[in-house]
């Protein structure tokens, strides 16, 4: 995976990370739990994108800012329950 700065400057922003999720899902018969690292990496990139561009910005690679934050909270809670 590229570094955050590169992925943010990609056109569209965060696209390499979205592609990494697709590749992972295909390799793992669409078992999302096996691609958690790639999903987390996309969320990290999207979160940085919104911090940089504002919540009204958009890129095809990221969910809307409010949905992204909800998904990030859900991921964090799921991780807490697994510990």
Domain range list for the chain: 4-82
Distance CA 63, CA 26 (A): 21
| pLDDT at res. 1 | 56
| pLDDT at res. 82 | 73
Q: Per-10-residue mean pLDDT for the chain, 83 residues long?
A: 88 97 98 95 97 96 97 87 71
| pLDDT at res. 35 | 97
| pLDDT at res. 71 | 95
């Amino acid at each position: 995976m590229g570094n955050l700065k590169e992925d943010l400057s990609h056109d569209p922003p965060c696209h390499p990370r979205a592609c990494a999720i697709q590749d992972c899902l295909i390799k793992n018969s669409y078992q999302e739990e096996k691609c958690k690292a790639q999903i987390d990496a996309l969320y990290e990139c999207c979160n940085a994108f919104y911090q940089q561009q504002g919540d009204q910005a958009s890129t095809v690679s990221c969910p809307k800012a409010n949905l992204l934050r909800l998904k990030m909270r859900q991921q964090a809670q799921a991780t807490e329950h697994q510990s």
